[in-house]
Structure 1
Amino acid sequence: MQQVSKVYKTTILPKEMEDQGSLILKRCRGLPLAIWTIGGLLANRPKTTMEWRKLHEYLGAELEYDLRDIVKVIASSYDGLPYHLKSIFLYLSIFPENHEIRGTRLLRRWIAEGYIAKNIDMPVEEVGERFYNELINRSMIQPSKNKIIPGSRVDHCRIHSMVRQIILSRAIEENQLCLIEKQCKGIPQSKIRHLVISRWKGDNKFKNINLSYIRSLTVFGDCPISLISPKMRLLRVLDLEDSTNRKNGDLRHIGDLPHLRYISLRGTHISKLPSSLQNLRYLETLDIQGTQVTWLPHGIVKLEKLCYLLAGVKFSRDLLQKVDNKKNPLGNMASFLCCNYSHCRKVCSMYQLSVRAPKGIDKLTNLHMLGAFNVG
């Protein structure tokens, strides 16, 4: 009710539109998710009687004059999306149910996949952020209540479990996505584009997958085997964020994937990057924040298209965790917060609060974001 009421409060509606709004609301049968979803549709349609009548008729045809299955109204909302939003919305099926999705992670993946077309009038990042906000305004994705900072943009979002089931089934039907979960038994052999491993502990059945068409590889949780293969020649996105059991040897073939544009090793136990990283001339994002990497290979300065280079720790939260960690070899790290500059630099270097940048890092003229690096 809240979404639809919001439309009424912000606009003085003619009697005919109020009648249409009441009919649409009646179809929702008091179901919160239906009201939330249709409210998003109303908020983004022209506020005319004709437009609202068309939406009511459209819903009537889809729902067969009654809303007994909420899945149908959600599917109708998806079908009513503009073309430029459908592909990026379907892309969210990659993330697990109720997963907190970082907005920057999603945006940079969209760009790497080529879903955000370049615009002469504005940077591609700004176009992507507009699409992201449009999905939120349409109520297709929900802002995370735990991650909202007053007065700022929505940093994290999530997708409703029922909405995800719908777009997940569509992505699988269209051979866009292969999801391998805990007790997965069968592996499809079709030409899939996105391979997702989610807390899978089965045997190695990946030999049955045609890796040559995969454009993104995403791992959530535990995966006991190395997945990166030279056969993934079209791979654009490698996202291993927070996955466990990752070893340096897992990256030995990374230099053989020339189309990689996005690499995230954030939160893994990787401690060394291979020198072959310099072969990735199209790489735009390299995220090694929260890893054990303390220095970058010198060849990184050859990656002229690199826009986001993230390393070290997140000082606001991760540093406090280090302070509270009783097993930290510093013992009482409270003194770290009030030490002088020279002491801070020594402690940061010693305990991996920053990463050493190679000489020539200034050659990366396309960088939009660099942190946290020791350039002293």
Structure 2
Amino acid sequence: MLDDGICCCHFPFANTRPCHISQCILDPQDDDQFASLGEKLRYLKGFLEDFVRSRGDHGKVKVLERQIEDSVNRAEDIVETYLYTVRSIVKSKNSQRKDYKIFQEGLKHVIEEIDSVKKEVVEICGNPCDPNNLHSGRYLFGSSSCHMPSSANPVVGLDKDLDKIKDQLTGLPYNLEILTIVGMAGIGKSTLAKIVYDDPLIVYHFYVRAWITVSQEYEVKNILIGLIRSVAQLTDDISAKYDDSEQHYKVLKDGINQLSDQKLAEQLYRSLKGKRYLIIMDDIWYNTAWDDVKRSFPDDKNGSRIILTSRLTEVAQYVNSGSPPHHMQFLSVDQGWELLKLKVFPKQGCPLELEEIGKQIAEKCRGLPLAIVVVAGHLSKLSKKRDLWFSVADNVGSLVARNREQFFNIIAMSYNHLPHHLKACFLYMGAFPENVEIPVWRLISLWIAEGFLKQELRKSLEQVAEEYLEDLIDRSLILAEKRTNDRVTTCRMHDLLRDFCLREAEKEKFWHVMRRHDLFFPEGLLNHRRLCVQSDIFSYAITEYSNPQVRTFLSSNFSTRLSFLSESVFALMGFKLLRILDMVSYYFSHFPTQVLKLVHLRFLGLSTSGELPAAASKLIRGSGKWYLPFSKRSALPVSISNLVNLQVLIINWGWRENHCLPFDIQTMTQLRHIRLKGAVVYFDDLFLAETNRTNPLVLSNLQTLLTVSSTNFSKKIVSIIPNLKKLGILVSKKNDEHPTTFLNYLSSLHCLETLKLSFSLQHEKSSTISQWNAFPPNLRALTLSGSHLPWEDMVTVGKIPNLEVLKLKDHAFSGRVWEPVDGGFLALKFLLLENNELEFWKATSTHFPSLQHLVLRLCDALVEIPCGIGEISTLQLIELYSCGHSAVRSAKRIHEEQQSIGNDDLEVRINLV
């Protein structure tokens, strides 16, 4: 595994030069050097992506891989150190020449290193770009097995799965059907398949049953031979061959291994022809494994079935695109405890005094059957005493860790099977704390800032990143926690997968993670280019660590008290080449201006208590000075424009106030996301003057702007952010125009998908929506807060053609009665009603035909949820938080009515607080 320079298909000179590097080049020949370096790196990238994938993890290849990584890192250090010196440090002409000479010599040396590595690659492997030197990518070595997992494991939490699979196996249609079972390692795919395989009804129903474990490294011949032997129900030493003339099986002791794949396929076909059969192909990794054998399965329209298990959703969908795969779920706490009991106490019940602590142990296994079985194996050997079980509860992680090599070997197959570009994305998950939901927007922003993504035609980097994430989810390596608009909004990783991820990241020097209770930086971290701190270590060891090579610094402070830092931390730790700095879990007393020297920053996340340095209240431009018009208004430092590579800006301010956005930020054309919390962006006069130029600079990459003041949000500003996808606006009346005038400009934002409007009008009504020009045409999510609109205006909202998410908060609409009309909200899937005076909601199932999720919060006056809401066929979940008793009763009534007619898919959750 390499750093982002190669393994993630990104290096500043592999595709483009760093932003503004042309201003730092003193010799035209440098252009040729950069071009040459980029060409060599693209060559080596092709080697790693194609050659390694096709020929496996050979020792010589690993050595080359490490050499490439070292060379790339040295090239990065030389170039980025020089750029840092040029752009952030004022020096004399002589000093500049000296620095430039050192830079040229270093660059020349690293190019020679890369030439040497390239030569070695050619000598050992040939030209990696030559297709004659590549295999097809299929693993045609290793073996497949007829071995079946034991079905002795008790059936816990699989009852519904078992019933569903059995119905599909024994019911209609009579055509040959293929069922697929998908899930992460250790979740019970093979166990479920084996229970089905041995079920008496299934044994009776099918004339022939056969099982083959395909595995990651399969051979077509072994699959066919294994199935033939399984069908014939003979031993490994005796094979059966169908004799057409005598219409019976002729036993052969020798010769089957000498048959060609085609002959074996024909023999398997004849063995199954005319019989109702069940074939289970366990642990499939490749589409080709199915393609190689599918013609051997006759379809005699007699109800034959095939079951495939895989960790990869992609494989399941390829095999049977017409039917969704059966996804295995984690066990609930009760189910986990039931499995634990049955494994520890197979013949007698659990003593009452162990019940509570036993449930705690089961819960800590996070619903993964494999982990529960491992812990149960340990408990079964202990004396049944509470103190011993309490000790186990405190050390569940270490118990699993004792058996983790077995588990890690299973996970390693999934990891090694990953395409090269996904490995870094997977390892990045190790930086996030355990049991934490990770906001997808943040994860994707970090991936992009790291340079992990390939730019694809007609796709934004965010779209590519979403595809990468879905790919990892489909491979059962990341768990999708929440979805909105059919997109994953939060995700997480199972604890055991995360442990594997951390181990691999440390082994590859991809990450070093400081755990929660670590108080000192360990020695030997100078080779790590990514550092993650999950403790309050700055309170103890701030002066004991310095690493100028760090490119990524993430922090997650678990301390119960606020930790305030001095901006001197950056100088003390020697940071100067950082690309990613995320320290939102620590507070600075003011905006740390030292950060503005980090010219390579792509991602900046900070928290400040709100006080800004005096210099930031006075912006100097040339010979003139511009003073902030309001004493309570603060500004971002104007020198933030030094961060020309910045893509993401996240600042949490101590309290809500207007913060001026310097006009210089318009020159930061790499900006993709601006997120200010506890603050509202107020565009300054010079920024507005810049937008009035004939050809103003356009922030074409900017996709997120949260949150901006409506006070001077003009049509000109809209024109320079044409590709905005997410926008938050605080509406307040601070000028002569009506406060909602600016909304008429939003219709020109054709890319806008998410709009959040918060009104602060001191109970002044925000007029009616009918006075607004139009909503953006591609709007998918709308949040209104404090707007005090009449319920009649919901007719206009309902006409937004692509609206899927609607959140109405804090009296967004006023009035006691809401009576929707037909023909609206055709695409709406999620509806939130929060803190309003609504009493009577007169709705039917036709008013929200696509609704999936309804949330009511602080709706004290609501008499009832309309019974027609429960009749919406797509509805999956109703949630109530702190609502009145009448509304709660109606929700329960709807749930009972739907259950009485067999609708078990609808879930109702009631929270009193």
**Structure 1 residues 99 and 246, CA gap change in structure 2 (3 angstroms):** farther
- The answer to whether structure 1 residue 218 and structure 2 residue 554 are counterparts is yes
Amino acid at match of 2:490: H
Task: Determine which of 583, 586, 599 is the counterpart of 1:244.
Answer: 586
Where in structure 2 are the equivalents of 1:233-312 lying within 5 Å?
A: 233-241=576-584, 243-248=585-590, 251-265=592-606, 269-270=609-610, 272=612, 273-288=636-651, 292=655, 294-298=658-662, 299-312=664-677
Cα displacement (A) at 1:177: 1.6
Amino acid at match of 2:576: R
Q: Distance in 2 between matches of 1:74 and 1:130?
A: 22
**Structure 1 residues 225 and 310, CA gap change in structure 2 (3 angstroms):** closer
**CA contact 1:220–1:240 (8 Å) conserved in 2:** yes
**Structure 1 residues 12 and 244, CA gap change in structure 2 (3 angstroms):** same
Cα displacement (A) at 1:44: 2.8
Amino acid at match of 1:372: T
Amino acid at match of 2:496: M
Q: Distance in 1 between matches of 2:545 and 2:414?
A: 36
- The answer to whether structure 1 residue 41 and structure 2 residue 367 are counterparts is no
Cα displacement (A) at 1:140: 0.8
Cα-to-partner distance string for 1:49-87 (whole Å, 9 max, x where unaligned)? xxxxxxxxxxxxxxxxx9983222122211111111111
**CA contact 2:554–2:582 (8 Å) conserved in 1:** yes
Q: Distance in 1 between matches of 2:654 and 2:681?
A: 10
- The answer to whether structure 1 residue 148 and structure 2 residue 148 are counterparts is no
**Structure 1 residues 42 and 225, CA gap change in structure 2 (3 angstroms):** same
Cα displacement (A) at 1:369: 2.0
**CA contact 2:312–2:476 (8 Å) conserved in 1:** no
**Structure 1 residues 17 and 77, CA gap change in structure 2 (3 angstroms):** farther
The residue aligned with 1:32 is none
Cα-to-partner distance string for 1:30-53 (whole Å, 9 max, x where unaligned)? xxxxxxxx96634333767xxxxx
Where in structure 2 are the equivalents of 1:312-323 lying within 5 Å?
A: 312=677
Amino acid at match of 2:601: L
The residue aligned with 1:183 is 518
SS in 2 for 1:179: strand
The residue aligned with 1:81 is 418
Q: Distance in 2 between matches of 1:171 and 1:13?
A: 38
Q: Distance in 1 between matches of 2:550 and 2:422?
A: 22
Cα-to-partner distance string for 1:137-170 (whole Å, 9 max, x where unaligned)? 21111122xx434x43110001111111111111
- The answer to whether structure 1 residue 12 and structure 2 residue 12 are counterparts is no
Amino acid at match of 2:583: L
Cα displacement (A) at 1:176: 2.0
Q: Distance in 2 between matches of 1:71 and 1:300?
A: 47
Amino acid at match of 1:295: H
Task: Determine which of 412, 419, 442 is the counterpart of 1:105.
Answer: 442
**Structure 1 residues 225 and 371, CA gap change in structure 2 (3 angstroms):** closer
Mean CA deviation greater in 15-24 or 188-197: 15-24
SS in 2 for 1:373: strand
**CA contact 1:281–1:303 (8 Å) conserved in 2:** yes
The residue aligned with 1:170 is 504
**Structure 1 residues 185 and 306, CA gap change in structure 2 (3 angstroms):** closer
Q: Distance in 1 between matches of 2:602 and 2:309?
A: 37
**Structure 1 residues 102 and 254, CA gap change in structure 2 (3 angstroms):** same
**Percent identity over paired residues:** 25
The residue aligned with 2:388 is none
**CA contact 1:310–1:369 (8 Å) conserved in 2:** yes
The residue aligned with 1:197 is 533
**Structure 1 residues 247 and 126, CA gap change in structure 2 (3 angstroms):** same
Q: Distance in 2 between matches of 1:39 and 1:224?
A: 51
**CA contact 2:430–2:498 (8 Å) conserved in 1:** yes
Cα displacement (A) at 1:129: 1.1
**CA contact 2:448–2:461 (8 Å) conserved in 1:** yes
**CA contact 1:305–1:364 (8 Å) conserved in 2:** no
The residue aligned with 2:705 is 370
**Structure 1 residues 245 and 283, CA gap change in structure 2 (3 angstroms):** closer
**CA contact 1:178–1:188 (8 Å) conserved in 2:** no
- The answer to whether structure 1 residue 117 and structure 2 residue 454 are counterparts is yes
**CA contact 1:180–1:200 (8 Å) conserved in 2:** no
Q: Distance in 2 between matches of 1:119 and 1:282?
A: 20
The residue aligned with 2:429 is 92
Cα displacement (A) at 1:186: 4.4
SS in 1 for 2:671: coil
Cα displacement (A) at 1:206: 5.1
Q: Distance in 2 between matches of 1:289 and 1:39?
A: 46
Q: Distance in 2 between matches of 1:40 and 1:198?
A: 35
Amino acid at match of 2:590: N
Amino acid at match of 1:133: E
Q: Distance in 2 between matches of 1:199 and 1:68?
A: 28
**Structure 1 residues 68 and 123, CA gap change in structure 2 (3 angstroms):** closer
Q: Structure 2: which 5+ residue stretches go unaligned?
A: 1-156, 170-175, 180-207, 215-279, 284-307, 320-402, 613-635, 692-696, 713-913
Aligned residue-pair number: 300
Amino acid at match of 1:81: L
SS in 1 for 2:604: strand
The residue aligned with 2:491 is 157
SS in 2 for 1:281: coil
SS in 1 for 2:487: coil
**CA contact 1:240–1:268 (8 Å) conserved in 2:** no
**CA contact 1:196–1:219 (8 Å) conserved in 2:** yes
- Rg larger in 1 or in 2? 2
**CA contact 1:262–1:284 (8 Å) conserved in 2:** yes
**Structure 1 residues 232 and 135, CA gap change in structure 2 (3 angstroms):** same
